[in-house]
A = this chain, B = another copy of it.
Amino acid sequence: MYRSLSRSVRSLPSVRTRTLQPAQVRSLHSQTPHRRHPFFTSNPTTASRSQSPSLTSQVTKRVVSTEALFKSKKPQYRLFRFVYRGLAFFGFSVLTITGATLAFFIYDATTYKESAEFGDLSIPEVALSPVRGGPKNLPIAEILVDEEDSEATRKCADKPKLVVLGTGWGSVGLLKNLKEEDWNVTVISTSNYFLYTPLLPSATVGTVELRSLMEPIRRVLQRLKGHFIRASAESVDLENKLVEVSQVMDDGEKRSFYVPYDKLVIGVGATGNTHGVPGLEYTLALKSSGDARRIRQKLIDNFERACLPTTTDDERKKLLSFVVCGGGPTGVEFAAELSDMINEDMITQYPKILRNEISIHLIQSAGHILNTYDEALSTYAESKFARDSIGVLTNSRVQEVRPDRIIFSQKDTEDRTKVITKELPFGLCLWSTGVGQVPFCEALAKSLPGQKNRRALETDSHLRLIGDDSGDVYAIGDCSTVKNNIAEHLTEFITDRVLSQRERRTGSRKAVDTDSIQLSFGEWRALAKEIKKRFPQTSQHLRRLDKLFQDFDTDKSGTLSIQELKVLLDKIDSKLTSLPATAQRANQQGIYLAHKLNAIARSPHFPSAGAPITTQPSFLGKPQLLHKPTVFPEDESVYKAFNYRHLGSLAYVGNAAVFDLGGGWNIGGGLVAMYLWRSVYFAQSVSFRTRMMLAMDWGRRSLFGRDLIMP
């Protein structure tokens, strides 16, 4: 083998040419044919000997020899050559990898730092002992300790203060799209990280690790030279533009202070919706990373307890009964992930009796799971769950949760009026049925006029908090809802738009009774344009303006009376659904707000620097307020209203996924859809770091499976 290989190597011109140096080339013309390659030598030698009489025979001989050479390129030679090349390439690859590894180690070696000395830091006295003030006479954190840490932060210190409450999808969408050095950004939240919530169900069973879903908020803030305060927002003083914040210290003492703002963004999210069901303390939620940890711990505990010899059959069944309340994406994905984990990992590590006794049930109040998705997808998911032995209990309403069982009523599938009360013992019950308001928002909404929604803070279509006259407070994400009440704005529209236009046309101001006004088609078209601009969500319902005009001109007068117009707008209002409480919406709102704040910062009326700071506290009378709020241009003058664009919904249903892309575009399928689902979440992931970690997690699951252990 070795000999053959070496021959094949010799006959390889590619190897030869590499060693063919000018000196050798010259030697080809000499009379010494030895050590020459038979292939190369033939031509020049022949040339130089062309005048010799024995040329013919010689040349013929050479031709033969060359021919022999070509003939000798039998398949096995080609194989040898192929093998040789393969080895060469392999060697090169190994060298490349070794080189890359070495380079990585060299890079790695540079990342270890010795202790650094800064020398003296200049920290403003007012940052270390803040002046007190405001209605409650609390310390006012006007300047923070890191305000002068670097040249860049010092630059931002003079900019208007943008305070962001929360570190969820909305806030991060905002922070990632905000331009540098426009605002002095401060983020306040109880968690110092952003959590990639869509993959939270995967983290409960260890398909991915929680840490791969978390991005430190300080890293997100680094580009903006922003500040972070880990504390919880207690209330907002809209008049003085102060957020009251509190933090519990080591010894349990609660400390409150004010953070002043020029613009405030509320993105504190929502809690679960209790629906008034008693006993929810026995269930687990899936909103935070702590929730995911608790669920994983509980799963492991239950599995371990189910193995014990002292556990009775009934107890084992109970421990291994998993009940999910809520058939939305979170509930469905948790059930799917749980089923995956059981079939792929638990089965190989735990006694087989566990697999036999496990049950998963999903309780859904609507007639289908994933009921906001296209019905074809709901059906696909349901049939997938049926194959995976996940019991789907539709048309069921939970009545009560007891420590070890859940009591629910189910409508009969045939006779819808018949309701049967059933119960299910459980070892773990997940409660994931919609969103409810956090106490902070509840209190804020109550204190404001015009806030009528019990579930979320209402904003106008510019995301400004309704009831705040300054227009400098925004609410985004799950804690907020955009109020679409066009009909209520009818008089306003008429006055602003129609009458002023008529005035301009006629040149005179006439006192017109708005109730008796009649709109021509042209006026209706102009009005509709204005409505679409102010309420972008109405666009899809204001397409066929002529048809609408005809349909709602009930008296066929050729004009729309104010009553007819009201009916029309009411109809459109009823068609507008409230925005979904999803990561997608929150993120879009955050990005929208970032663009708006960027536009505001570029508008000519933007305050060039923050209000002057008084460092001297006044001990006489009412404490002096340090921060003087800034006046900004109106939102409408710099940026358009918020328009939510639904990009589709997707859900994982157990080694399969469903995509509802809207407009009848649905995909539901197995592994390929699952990989697609992963790709979407991979691409949406917040940083390169989390992406790398997600990829590693998925690879690890593939190689080693999920681990049923908990640190």
Contact of A145 with B351 in the complex, beta carbons under 8 Å = yes
- Give the chain B neighbours of A655 by CB distance below 8 A: 112-114
In order of increasing CB-CB distance, the 4 nearest A-B pairs are: A14-B14, A146-B351, A141-B309, A210-B711
Q: List residues 197-215 of chain A with CB under 8 A from any CB of chain B.
A: 209-211, 214
Count copies of this chain in the complex: 2
Q: Please report which residues of chain A, range 342-365, place their CB below 8 angstroms from some CB of chain B when the two chains form the complex.
A: 343-344, 347-353, 355-356
A280 at interface by CB-CB < 8 Å: no
A497 within 8 A of B: no
A-B contacts, 6 listed (Cβ < 8 Å): A14-B14, A118-B352, A193-B709, A209-B209, A230-B305, A250-B319
A210 to B343, CA, bound (A): 26
- Expressed in whole angstroms, the minimum distance between the Cβ of A695 and any Cβ of chain B is 10
Asked whether A44 is an interface residue with its Cβ less than 8 Å from the other chain, the reply is yes
Query: A216 is contacted by which of B302, B343, B709 (Cβ under 8 Å)?
Result: B709
The number of chain A residues with a CB under 8 A from chain B is 132
Cα A403 to Cα B25 with chains together (Å): 87
Measured CA separation A186–B46 after assembly (Å): 84
**Does A71 contact B22, Cβ atoms closer than 8 Å?**
yes
Cβ 8 A contact of A308, one of B218, B229, B671: B229
Give the shortest distance, in Å, between A580 (CB) and chain B (any CB). Answer: 26
In chain B, what residue has the closest Cβ to A11?
B17
Cβ–Cβ contact A293 & B711, under 8 A: yes
Query: In angstroms, how far is the closest chain B Cβ from the Cβ of A664?
Result: 29
Contact of A48 among B63, B108, B114, B313 (CB under 8 A): B63
Please tell me if the beta carbons of B304 and A343 are within 8 angstroms of each other in the complex. Answer: no
Q: Which of B43, B216, B305, B699 contacts A349 (CB 8 A)?
A: B216
Within 8 A of B (CB), among A33-74: 42-44, 46-48, 50-51, 55-56, 59-60, 62-63, 66-67, 70-71, 73
Cβ of A137 within 8 Å of any chain B Cβ, yes or no, is no
Q: Would A59 and B63 count as touching, CB distance under 8 A?
A: no
A62 touches B89 (CB 8 A): no
B108 near A702: Cβ-Cβ < 8 Å: yes
Instruction: Assess the B43–A250 pair: CB atoms within 8 A.
Output: no
B699/A113 in contact, CB under 8 A:
no
With A and B bound together, what is the CA distance between A675 and B352 in angstroms? 44
Cα–Cα distance between A141 and B309 once the two chains are bound (Å): 6
Question: A230 with B307: in contact, given A218-B349, A290-B711 (CB under 8 Å)?
Answer: yes
Task: A42 to B43: give the CA distance in the assembly, Å.
Answer: 6
Whether A617 is near chain B, meaning CB under 8 Å from some CB there, is no
Binds B, one of A122-130, A232-240, A634-642: A122-130
List, in ascending order, chain B residues with CB within 8 A of A516's CB: none
State the CA gap A111–B703 with chains docked (Å).
8
Chain A contacts with B in 248-273, Cβ cutoff 8 A: 249-251, 255-257
Contact between A115 and B702 (Cβ–Cβ < 8 Å)? no
Say whether B47 contacts A313, CB under 8 Å.
no
Point out the residue from B139, B210, B708 that lies within 8 Å of A309, measured CB to CB: B139
Asked if residues A709 and B214 are in contact (CB atoms below 8 Å), the reply is yes
Residues of B within 8 A of A247 (CB): 305, 308, 310
Complex Cα gap A256–B313 (Å): 17
